[in-house]
Structure 1
Amino acid sequence: MSTTLPASGTRPARATSAVHPGYRTLWRWHFYAGLFVMPFLIVLAITGTIYCFQPQIEPLLYPHRLVVTPAHTPRLSADTLLARAQAALPVGAKPIRAHIEANPARSAEFVFALMNGRKESVYLNPYSGEVLGTLDVDGRFMQVDRMLHRKLLLGKPGELLMELAACWTLVMIGTGVALWWPRAAPGSHGSALRAALWPRLGAKGRPFWKSLHGVIGIWLAVGALAFVVSGLPWTGSWGKQFKALATRVSAGAPRGAWGGGLPLKSTLPGAQQHADARPPMQMDHSEHAGHDMASMPGMVMDDLPLPNVPWAVGAVRVPQSPDAASPATGRFTLDQVVARMRALGVASGYDVALPATASGVYTVSYFPADPQQERTVYLDQYSGTVLKDIRYGDYGAVSQVISYGTSLHMGRYFGLANQLICTAISLGLAALAVTGFVMWWLRRPARAVGAPSRERAAPPMRAWKAGLAILAVIFPLMGATIVGVLLLDRMLFGGSKNLSAS
């Protein structure tokens, strides 16, 4: 394909500064990355911004369930509230989770698994025991928003699409910075840099949109890169494999976190213990599995019905005792669990996954804004013995870094300011998608995709090719799509209409 350049004498300054060896190659890859990423960026930006303000939004959405008037009377015990919550539900509902909250203006919340497979949250006034209402766990607004953000409500295919969108955003950022980089004659670098950092407000048409697009992109580049990198460890394909690898090599939760490899046991009083030689069950670790899947052999923390689990312990095996021959007696109560956690220094804002079987354990997950305060605690359901208390200091180096990245990504680490910064980055990414679309629309050719033309003699660009190769190795799914893009580019778009670089 031939390359169409601006005619001699037409905007010579722009041609000198913009059209350089490799420019069209980078522009072509930027075009393809943006073409794929654009709709997903808008979804990610909107849903991410909403989820970032969950603490402020949910009380406004469900004020009659979540908010109560503080009273001078003592709060009812957790066990009393749990019993009243269960009495308000159909027969057969099984309690799977309790949220422990000391905020005097917040209701008590318990989650139950119903016979029809649904999970229902029950809210009560902690002072009077009055049932304030229920919510479908999966239909809750913030849960729907979260699933849109993670998987477009399409299950595994949507999860893979969003992961690919994040990976290709890295390409979009890298090529965008390279295209933006000011190139000017010697002695004019300062003015060129100033012009590149501020939009040409006096321009009209495509030059204005191009200037605005470039300026937004460069101001957001570092934040957007941090956003993508901190979100990738939570993806359902690459992120899950990376988490499992980090755990195995002690870069996540240390391998010795389980006391020399001995199994944790919640021991039935008077029961004869025996080793279970069966291999772990291979299971589909779906997000927040139901009550019938909790505390089974081979389960990991991510499978428990908990809303938030620290990344470092997500792939850690859930304790499971051997089969028991006698019925359980003298079970530790929820009030005793609360008292035990208070003695351990955790008084509020945590969730307890209740034992699902006679050999299960109480699993406490504390996921606060400060990563160094994260706690995962296992308690024997009969004696209340602390079987394991995993803290930030027990994490591997990788998990410690990811814990901070997660808190910043979710806008939790330093309050409202963190939320506002995340909002600016998210909406800025959406603005990049919109301005990129406008630029394409203004220069689109008739009956063609509009990909930038290839260079007649492109330079080797070894650094760029090496970067793509590294991304393909780190993210194999993305590597497959890179090959696919190259093939489609040759087969379908090889004859696309030439476009100038301006």
Structure 2
Amino acid sequence: MSATLPASGTRTARAAGAVHPGYRTLWRWHFYAGLFVMPFLIVLAITGTIYCFQPQIEPLLYPHRLVVTPADSPRLPADTLLDKARTALPPEAKPIRAHIEASPARSAEFVFALANGRKESVYVNPYSGDVLGTLDVDSRFMQVDRMLHRKLLLGKPGELLMELAACWTLVMIGTGIALWWPRVATDGKRTSLRSALWPRFSTKGRPWWKSLHSVIGIWLAVGALAFVVSGLPWTGSWGKQFKALATRVNVGAPRGAWGGGLPLKSTLPGASSQTDHAEHAGHDMSSMPGMVMDDLPLPNVPWAVGAVKVPQSPDTAAQENTRFTLDQVVALMRDSGVASGYDVALPATPSAVYTVSYFPADPQKERTVYIDQYSGKVLKDIHYADYGAVSQVISYGTSLHMGRYFGLANQIVCTVISLGLAALAVTGFVMWWLRRPSRTVGAPSRERAAPPMRAWKIGLALLAVIFPLMGATILAVLLLDWLAFGRSRNLSSS
């Protein structure tokens, strides 16, 4: 999968032309794709590898907050721990989330929304009730790493750039495979499969780098393709639209997630069901209509339920009544088979619900539960089996992509693929540097008589239709290439 930037040399040009018709065209597109995605691949590789090892890294970064010494005494009730956590922040801070963890060596964690808009995590010793410390949610190392991975810390523009980089990586992979495919050399002898799959250590200089680059690329091709495809559904533009579409045609979110059945809101004692409305769990939703599960203050929400609409709040206030406690929620979830490792969005307004999100390593155990905050009645309990076919596949892809599904081995596989992609970027740059042309970009020269290449054109057209944002950039590349270099001008030879 060579993203080389060729230099001059008519002899090499004749050799490349003898390979097969369309070789230069594929090479040119591979060059443009590699030129664009190269820096993004390095960022994605580093941040992705770090995030993959979050379970091991975070306790090392924040040992005095996250880690406690197990004690013989029983853990304090969850509501008691929540009250202890309140004392660490100003009175106006509102609790919006609780992380339920049964591990004897982990602290209790609660997240509060502050008056200035920030979110603060408070950590409490579950045995003594001592506050261990706080962390700004958005400044937490893994959150910064995650936002770098998803949007380069640039908001929506960065999110779109990363989505484009993923799409163009598909082009880079496809053209790379086509360029690598064992072919007939100029002397009539077919390239051996061994030399195509193993670096040529007998060579030196640029040929050695090219051999290394192509071998790394072909070994990683399948894994890299799986990485890209499994990551695209989580992108903020195409992924969001695809999720909404999958939900509407009933292949994404569970049946009934968009309405019908029991209301996804707490029933106020004495209130009429006809006049009941709902409210975003933990937030005043009166001025924020149309919110979905992805907008809840939860760190992880299964892809299948991300587009499920969140109930809105009523305009009228209600009298305070006896509420279902956090301890009762924990007991209810434990009785239903979920004892640890989930998050609860806390109801902060009269008609809000408890929203439980369980996002374990095994997709088939995923759960999303809505609980009436007064009666404790389960309004809806969404399991993996309720997902549409598309969401079931994406759930497995997500777990594998994040290195969660089969433990440490999965993390190692993800690391090899991620760092391998970074190596492709580095080796591609080195090849260009060794044979860089003067005063030109170094794109491979055009073919004098380009073949039809119908399959290639159909493939590009399909990508443009499936990913409209990428389609726009394909047109932009074609236009800029034509304007800058003309129809027949050769920038350099290969």
Moved more, 319-328 or 332-341: 319-328
Show the counterpart of 2:26. 26
The TM-score with structure 2 as length reference comes to 0.93
Show the counterpart of 1:463. 455
Q: How does 1:318-467 map to 2 (within 5 A)?
A: 318-320=310-312, 322-324=314-316, 326-467=318-459
Aligned counterparts of 2:297 and 2:16: Cα–Cα separation in 1: 60
Q: 1:293-348 CA deviation, whole Å, 9 max, x = no partner? A: 59964221000000000000000012346555531300110000001111111000
- Indicate whether 1:89 and 2:89 are aligned: yes
Aligned counterparts of 1:292 and 1:272: Cα–Cα separation in 2: 21
228 and 247 in structure 1: CA distance in 2 versus 1, 3 angstrom threshold:
same
Aligned counterparts of 2:18 and 2:239: Cα–Cα separation in 1: 38
Show the counterpart of 2:241. 241
Offset of residue 15 of structure 1: 2.2
Contact 1:354 1:362 in 2 (8 A): yes
117 and 240 in structure 1: CA distance in 2 versus 1, 3 angstrom threshold:
same
Paired residues in the alignment total 487
Aligned counterparts of 2:67 and 2:220: Cα–Cα separation in 1: 37
Q: 1:107-150 CA deviation, whole Å, 9 max, x = no partner? A: 00000001111100000100000000000000000000000000
Show the counterpart of 2:492. 499
Contact 2:346 2:354 in 1 (8 A): yes
The amino acid that maps onto 1:441 is: W
Offset of residue 193 of structure 1: 1.4
The amino acid that maps onto 2:125 is: N
Show the counterpart of 2:204. 204
Aligned counterparts of 2:22 and 2:91: Cα–Cα separation in 1: 69
328 and 268 in structure 1: CA distance in 2 versus 1, 3 angstrom threshold:
farther
Contact 2:24 2:447 in 1 (8 A): yes
Matching residue within 295, 305, 308 for 1:316 = 308
Aligned counterparts of 1:90 and 1:250: Cα–Cα separation in 2: 45
The TM-score with structure 1 as length reference comes to 0.92
The amino acid that maps onto 2:28 is: R
Show the counterpart of 2:148. 148
41 and 343 in structure 1: CA distance in 2 versus 1, 3 angstrom threshold:
same
Aligned counterparts of 1:397 and 1:213: Cα–Cα separation in 2: 37
Q: 1:242-267 CA deviation, whole Å, 9 max, x = no partner? A: 00111111111133246735533311
Aligned counterparts of 2:351 and 2:287: Cα–Cα separation in 1: 8
Contact 2:97 2:345 in 1 (8 A): yes
Aligned counterparts of 1:360 and 1:473: Cα–Cα separation in 2: 41
Show the counterpart of 1:285. none
Show structure 2 runs of 5+ residues with no match. 1-5
- Indicate whether 1:487 and 2:479 are aligned: yes
Contact 1:184 1:192 in 2 (8 A): no
Q: 1:388-445 CA deviation, whole Å, 9 max, x = no partner? A: 0000000000000000000000000000000000000000000000000111112221
Aligned counterparts of 2:281 and 2:9: Cα–Cα separation in 1: 60
Aligned counterparts of 2:473 and 2:16: Cα–Cα separation in 1: 34
Q: How does 1:24-63 map to 2 (within 5 A)?
A: 24-63=24-63
Aligned counterparts of 1:4 and 1:242: Cα–Cα separation in 2: 42
Matching residue within 285, 288, 291 for 1:299 = 291
373 and 18 in structure 1: CA distance in 2 versus 1, 3 angstrom threshold:
farther
Offset of residue 499 of structure 1: 3.1
318 and 379 in structure 1: CA distance in 2 versus 1, 3 angstrom threshold:
same
Contact 1:45 1:429 in 2 (8 A): yes
Offset of residue 17 of structure 1: 9.0
Contact 1:109 1:123 in 2 (8 A): yes
Contact 2:281 2:355 in 1 (8 A): no
CA RMSD between the two structures: 2.5
Show the counterpart of 1:99. 99
Aligned counterparts of 1:40 and 1:265: Cα–Cα separation in 2: 42
296 and 275 in structure 1: CA distance in 2 versus 1, 3 angstrom threshold:
farther
Aligned counterparts of 2:384 and 2:420: Cα–Cα separation in 1: 33
Contact 1:98 1:110 in 2 (8 A): yes
Show structure 1 runs of 5+ residues with no match. 282-287
Show the counterpart of 1:284. none
- Indicate whether 1:131 and 2:131 are aligned: yes
Aligned counterparts of 1:453 and 1:156: Cα–Cα separation in 2: 36
Offset of residue 290 of structure 1: 8.3
Contact 1:45 1:427 in 2 (8 A): yes
Q: How does 1:252-267 map to 2 (within 5 A)?
A: 252-257=252-257, 260=260, 263-267=263-267
The amino acid that maps onto 2:47 is: T
Aligned counterparts of 2:444 and 2:288: Cα–Cα separation in 1: 55
Aligned counterparts of 1:296 and 1:97: Cα–Cα separation in 2: 19
Q: 1:460-484 CA deviation, whole Å, 9 max, x = no partner? A: 0000000000000000000000000
Q: 1:44-89 CA deviation, whole Å, 9 max, x = no partner? A: 0000000000000000000000000000001000000000100111
Q: 1:194-252 CA deviation, whole Å, 9 max, x = no partner? A: 11111111211111111111000000000000000000000000000000111111111
Secondary structure, aligned partner of 2:97: strand
